[in-house]
Amino acid sequence: MWLLLNLGGKVAALLLADSAWAVAVACWFVPDAILAYHVFMPHAQGTLRAPRRFITAGREVWLTIDDGPDAEDTPRILQLLAEHQARATFFLIGQKAAAHPALVHAIVAGGHEIAHHTHTHPIGTFWCATPGRVRRELDAATDIFCRLGISATRFRTPGNQKSPWLQSVLKSRRLAPIDWTARGLEGWSTSPGAVADRVLRHLAPGNILLLHEGPGVPVGIRVEGVREVLGRLTRAGYKCVVPTAAQLASS
């Protein structure tokens, strides 16, 4: 739909160029701006509909951790989760899962969920990936998970970037896209406390919290941001759970 709208705008601009140049300029550029908004802006739902919350009657949140598994961070995060009796979903990169199969099994053994975060995490180019490349990113990681005995049914895009055809490819692979309510933005933070302040600023039941692991997180914040968030959630009486599909479908 969005590509047809964009193409229609270009055709209209060419037809109106001689008689109404201002309208023609608007027809040329406005569809581009609308499409760019839905591709790049967090929470934009125009090209990919994904839940930002889940339905719950209790003081529960969903902790999601992207970009693993990581040899240094994952074991420590699993220990923290066990200490707080918390469950989480790890959105794993296929290449990293292939390199660290024992960590993938450790995540599952800890009672946590494995989800899909593409095979190579092409954060700079995923927005403009062709349908064929999108399929390859999804299928390569899915093959790795299957070899490890994992059935990943949920997906998050790298950098929350979408494309006009991503939703149809996900549907054909039976992968459910997942958004987030609040994120830690660890790369922009100066301390673990700042990460927790940001991700818990509007804490409410049903929030989906996004944190990261691995070398993309600054040294002083790696794992410690997760520790601070879990500590504050525990003190506030919140549980970290993995919601069912029904809880997401109703949100």
What does the chain look like in DSSP terms, one character per residue?
A: -HHHHHHHHHHHHHHHTTT-HHHHHHHHHHHHHHHHHHHHSTT--SS----SB---SSSEEEEEEEEE--TTHHHHHHHHHHHTT--EEEEE-HHHHHH-HHHHHHHHHTT-EEEE--SS--TTTGGG--HHHHHHHHHHHHHHHHHTT----EE--GGG---TTHHHHHHHTT-EE---SEE--GGG-SSHHHHHHHHTTT--TTBEEEEE-STTS-TTTTTHHHHHHHHHHHHTT-EE----HHHHHT-
Catalytic residues: 66, 212
The architecture (CATH level 2) of 60-249 comes to Alpha-Beta Barrel (3.20)
Convert the pLDDT of each residue in 190-243 to its tens digit.
Answer: 999 999 999 999 999 999 999 999 999 999 999 999 999 999 999 999 999 999
| Mean pLDDT computed over 88-109 | 98
Convert the pLDDT of each residue in 162-181 to its tens digit.
Answer: 877 888 999 999 999 999 99
**pLDDT at site 36:** 52
Q: Enumerate the CATH 3.20.20.370 domain ranges in the chain, comma separated.
A: 60-249
Q: Which one has a higher pLDDT value, 25 or 208? A: 208
pTM, entire model = 0.85
